[in-house]
Amino acid sequence: MALATTAFAQFDAPSLGDYPANVSYDGRFTFVRLRWRNDAARSRGFWSSAWNHDYPRAEQHLSQIVRELTYLDVRLDGSRILTLDDPDLFKYPIAFMWEPGFWVMNDAEALTFRTYLKKGGFAVFEDFDGREQWANFELQMARVLPGARWVRLDQSHMLYRSFFEIHDIDAIVHPMSRIRPSYFGLFEDNDPSRRLMVVANFDNDVPEYWEWSGAGLFPFDTSNEAYKLGVNYMIYGITH
């Protein structure tokens, strides 16, 4: 898989201007990234807007892999960047958020995001680590889903065999710190036998592998495992 994306990443990756983040809805599967206010990130001296980390190569490369390996009709000509309270969010079954350790929102966003998840939306949170960032993330999600209880996920969950059988979810270590990841989920009615609404990849940065596949920065096998996980997210979200 990484080999297929190597050529795509090195030679055919569109520039930022060739990959718009406002493509119109046409029924095809479209990668959605959530944008949030970056006041907290800036106040802490964060180097970017945080929510746009890895854009656009992460979604470009993962979308290309999903298109090549599955029957999912994925758009490759662009994506959507949406706020939590954008009504267009309800047109898309899966949404990704980067750097939720710095995420803040208002009450209207919390209410709309709650409705989205309860109506069947699936959210994936990426690229955050440490106690302070988890505390902020947990606080924000408590506003979205009051009373929801986090469950630590292991590789027995359907998420890790929805397309690929992932035998060792701990193998996708943080690309910079090399620490072992933790995966947590929120389920409908706090019942782990029901639909997984939210997954949080904590102490990890899986999309970093998507973004830089083919650049020789990270081990080939780990990049492959990161792609497998991304494909599984897509398939689980579209089928649940």
Q: What is the pTM of this model?
A: 0.89
User: For tokens 């988890």, what's the residue?
Assistant: 134
Is 41 a residue whose pLDDT tops 90? Answer: no
Contact 30, 75 (CB under 8 A): yes
Reduced to 3 states, what is the DSSP secondary structure of residue 197? strand
Contact 94, 238 (CB under 8 A): yes
How high is the pLDDT of residue 39? Answer: 64
User: 65-109: per-residue pLDDT in tens?
Assistant: 999 999 999 999 999 999 999 999 999 999 999 999 999 999 999
- Report CA torsion sign: 234, 27, 79, 19: positive
Would you tell me how many other CB atoms lie within 10 Å of the CB of residue 218?
A: 18
Is 7 a residue whose pLDDT tops 80? Answer: no
* C-alpha triplet 94, 95, 99: angle, nearest 5°: 150
How high is the pLDDT of residue 4? Answer: 45
Average pLDDT over the chain, rounded to an integer? 89
DSSP code at position 168: -
How high is the pLDDT of residue 217? Answer: 82
Assigned fold of 2-239: Rossmann fold (3.40.50)
How high is the pLDDT of residue 47? Answer: 44
CA dist., res. 83 & res. 114, Å (int) = 13
User: 202-214: per-residue pLDDT in tens?
Assistant: 999 999 999 998 8
CA dist., res. 197 & res. 151, Å (int) = 12
| Single-letter residue type at 20 | P
Residue in 177, 181, 187 with CA at minimum distance from that of residue 226 = 181
Q: Is the bond leading into 192 cis (omega within 30 degrees of zero)?
A: no
Q: Is the bond leading into 56 cis (omega within 30 degrees of zero)?
A: yes
Q: What's the rounded mean pLDDT across residues 154-172?
A: 93
Reduced to 3 states, what is the DSSP secondary structure of residue 98? strand
Is 2 a residue whose pLDDT tops 90? Answer: no
Q: Which residues pair with 21 in a beta bridge?
A: none
User: What's the first-to-final CA gap in the chain, in angstroms?
Assistant: 25
Q: What's the rounded mean pLDDT across residues 144-173?
A: 94
Q: Which residues pair with 127 in a beta bridge?
A: none
CA dist., res. 52 & res. 64, Å (int) = 19
How high is the pLDDT of residue 214? Answer: 80
